[in-house]
């Protein structure tokens, strides 16, 4: 299947099923969209906590599980499935200071390149771990572009210790100063560059006629005010993705630490408990509520509620005993996590649409492109890799 056809099918599927993936049960709305899917609803509500956790972290398992009750799941699965990557075991232990998971991602990313023969430019490089690994592996000079001066200094120290031809440069890639660092005879790479940053990378690399591009995108909602398609094909689509839609695309949490997962669930339960208080006060239970940082999960439900009252400028006094509301929140979370699996079933399709938009844009500019997964989702759910190359003109 070529990319244009796949993009059309993904786009049409998302348009047809908007009621399912744009429904957020955590905002207090009732799930009317499942009224015609009684069997699916029964299946979801009967899931154990362990089953829910497993389905939250595995797109294929989730889609296969709900397919008997939700026919669209089979179509989603066929459209998001790409060749599975091999399990990559790094040849060397990670260098001192490089997290093991990050080193495995770098090793898998590099393994997907049979060779890198041009000077490398790493977009949003951080400390330049990828730049350094590429320089060592392919004996090439490499440059990293990074906005944080502390990371720039640490990256240059890291590169010096490893005797590589790597230089990390203090550069805001969203500014015009980046142009001086991008040249035609370069291979521009990014491992997990966020939304607006990787769109900027592609636009600039194309404008500078860079010969090769490798991108593993991440966090499509970040560094972007409103998502705008790059490709001519998807610019014509009536479907416009919001920041909330883009957040849905990265909802997979199978790499989160246990403490982070529990903190997130606690805050979700408390949000739902607070919405129950709003309902009891005759206030709109779907009132927009701000998100609070994870450390608020350690403060207690009463402090959490008082903070929301303050931030939302609501004018009601909290009851002296909030136990019933907190218990209601946990009960609502139990149900919400299961209902939300329907939205989760579309997350990879939303991500695929964003990635295919980038691929189509590059093809429209004359690049030959490939799209594959570079690592297994257990290592990183953001495991899609675009590789693009300008054909030789002679």
Six-digit token pair at 50?
């362990």
Those residues with Cβ within 8 angstroms of residue 211's Cβ, 6 or more apart along the chain or in another chain = 118, 184, 185, 186, 187, 389, 390
Largest CA distance in the chain: 79
Q: In this predicted model, what pLDDT tens digit does every residue of 318-345 receive, in sequence order?
A: 998 999 999 999 999 999 999 999 999 9
pLDDT confidence of 211, banded at 50, 70, 90?
very high
Q: What is the pLDDT of residue 381?
A: 94
Six-digit token pair at 119?
């000077």
* Mean pLDDT (whole number) for 210-230: 95
Q: What is the pLDDT of residue 86?
A: 66
| Cα separation of the two ends of the chain | 29
Q: State yes or no: pLDDT of 87 exceeds 90.
A: no
Q: State yes or no: pLDDT of 34 exceeds 70.
A: yes
Sheet of 368-373, strands arranged across: 166-170, 142-146, 120-123, 187-193, 212-217, 384-389, 368-373
pTM: 0.93
* Mean pLDDT (whole number) for 56-73: 96
- What phi, psi does 224 have (nearest 5°)? -150, 130
pLDDT confidence of 115, banded at 50, 70, 90?
confident
Q: What CA–CA distances, in Å, run from 317 to 129, 304, 390?
A: 52, 14, 64
Buried b (16+ CB within 10 A) or exposed e, 103-130: bbbbbbbbbbbeebebbbbbbbbbbbbb
Q: Determine what percent of the chain is predicted with pLDDT higher than 90.
A: 80
Q: Are 292 and 304 in contact (CB under 8 A)?
A: yes
Cα 148 to chain centroid, rounded: 22
pLDDT confidence of 313, banded at 50, 70, 90?
confident
| H or E, element range at 169 | strand 166-170
Q: What CA–CA distances, in Å, run from 122 to 104, 125, 216?
A: 17, 5, 12
Q: What CA–CA distances, in Å, run from 199 to 39, 97, 192, 205, 216?
A: 41, 30, 12, 10, 12
Q: What is the pLDDT of residue 337?
A: 95
Q: Determine what percent of the chain is predicted with pLDDT higher than 70.
A: 96
Q: State yes or no: pLDDT of 220 exceeds 60.
A: yes
Specify the 3-state DSSP secondary structure of 355.
helix
The CA distance from 94 to 310, in Å, is 47
Q: State yes or no: pLDDT of 122 exceeds 70.
A: yes
Q: What is the pLDDT of residue 136?
A: 92
Q: What is the pLDDT of residue 280?
A: 87
Q: What is the pLDDT of residue 185?
A: 94
Q: What is the pLDDT of residue 170?
A: 97
Least confident of 80-84, 113-117, 182-186, 283-287: 283-287
Those residues with Cβ within 8 angstroms of residue 226's Cβ, 6 or more apart along the chain or in another chain = 242, 243
Q: What is the pLDDT of residue 257?
A: 74
* Mean pLDDT (whole number) for 152-171: 95
The most confident of 250-254, 303-307, 312-316, by mean pLDDT: 303-307
The CA distance from 205 to 226, in Å, is 21
* Mean pLDDT (whole number) for 97-115: 92
Let me know how many helices (H) and strands (E) the chain has, helices first.
16, 7
- For 101, other C-beta atoms within 10 Å of its C-beta total 12
Q: Are 36 and 371 in contact (CB under 8 A)?
A: no
Q: What is the pLDDT of residue 256?
A: 65
Q: State yes or no: pLDDT of 85 exceeds 80.
A: no
Q: State yes or no: pLDDT of 1 exceeds 80.
A: no
Buried b (16+ CB within 10 A) or exposed e, 12-41: ebbeebeebbebbbbbbeebebbeebeebb
The CA distance from 76 to 71, in Å, is 9
Cα 234 to chain centroid, rounded: 20
Averaged pLDDT score across all residues of the chain: 92
Segments in the chain forming alpha helices (H): 3-16, 18-21, 38-45, 49-56, 59-66, 72-80, 100-111, 129-138, 149-161, 195-207, 232-235, 243-249, 258-280, 301-312, 323-344, 347-364
């Amino acid at each position: 299947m070529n990319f244009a056809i796949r993009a059309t099918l993904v786009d049409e599927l998302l348009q047809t099923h908007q009621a399912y993936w744009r429904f957020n049960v955590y905002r207090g709305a009732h799930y009317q969209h499942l009224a015609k899917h009684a069997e699916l609803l029964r299946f979801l509500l009967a899931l154990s906590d362990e089953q829910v956790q497993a389905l939250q972290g595995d797109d294929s398992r989730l889609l296969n599980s709900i397919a008997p009750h939700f026919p669209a799941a089979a179509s989603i699965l066929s459209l998001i499935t790409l060749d599975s990557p091999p399990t990559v075991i790094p040849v060397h232990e990670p260098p001192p200071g490089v997290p093991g998971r990050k080193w495995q991602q770098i090793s898998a990313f590099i393994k997907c390149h049979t060779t890198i023969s041009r000077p490398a430019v790493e977009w949003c490089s951080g400390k330049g771990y990828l730049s350094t690994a590429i320089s060592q592996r392919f004996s090439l000079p490499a440059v990293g572009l990074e906005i944080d001066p502390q990371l720039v200094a640490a990256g240059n120290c890291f590169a010096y210790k490893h005797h590589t031809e790597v230089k990390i440069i203090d550069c805001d890639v969203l500014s015009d100063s980046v142009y001086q660092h991008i040249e035609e005879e370069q291979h521009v790479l990014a491992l997990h560059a966020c939304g607006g940053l990787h769109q900027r990378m592609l636009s600039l690399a194309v404008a500078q006629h860079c010969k090769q591009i490798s991108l593993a995108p991440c966090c499509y909602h970040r560094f972007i005010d409103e998502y705008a398609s790059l490709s001519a094909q998807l610019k014509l689509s009536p479907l416009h993705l919001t920041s909330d839609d883009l957040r849905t695309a990265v909802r997979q949490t199978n790499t989160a630490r246990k403490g982070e997962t529990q903190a997130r669930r606690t805050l979700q339960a408390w949000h739902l408990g607070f919405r129950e208080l709003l309902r009891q006060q005759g206030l709109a239970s779907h009132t927009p509520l701000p998100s609070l940082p994870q450390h608020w999960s350690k403060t207690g439900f009463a402090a959490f509620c008082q903070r929301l009252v303050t931030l939302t400028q609501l004018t009601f006094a909290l009851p002296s005993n909030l136990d019933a509301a907190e218990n209601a929140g946990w009960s609502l979370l139990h149900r919400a996590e299961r209902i939300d699996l329907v939205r989760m079933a579309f997350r990879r399709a939303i991500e695929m649409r964003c990635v295919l938009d980038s691929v189509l844009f590059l093809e429209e500019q004359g690049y030959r492109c490939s799209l594959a997964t570079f690592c297994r989702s257990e290592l990183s759910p953001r495991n899609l890799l675009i590789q693009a190359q300008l054909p030789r003109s002679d």
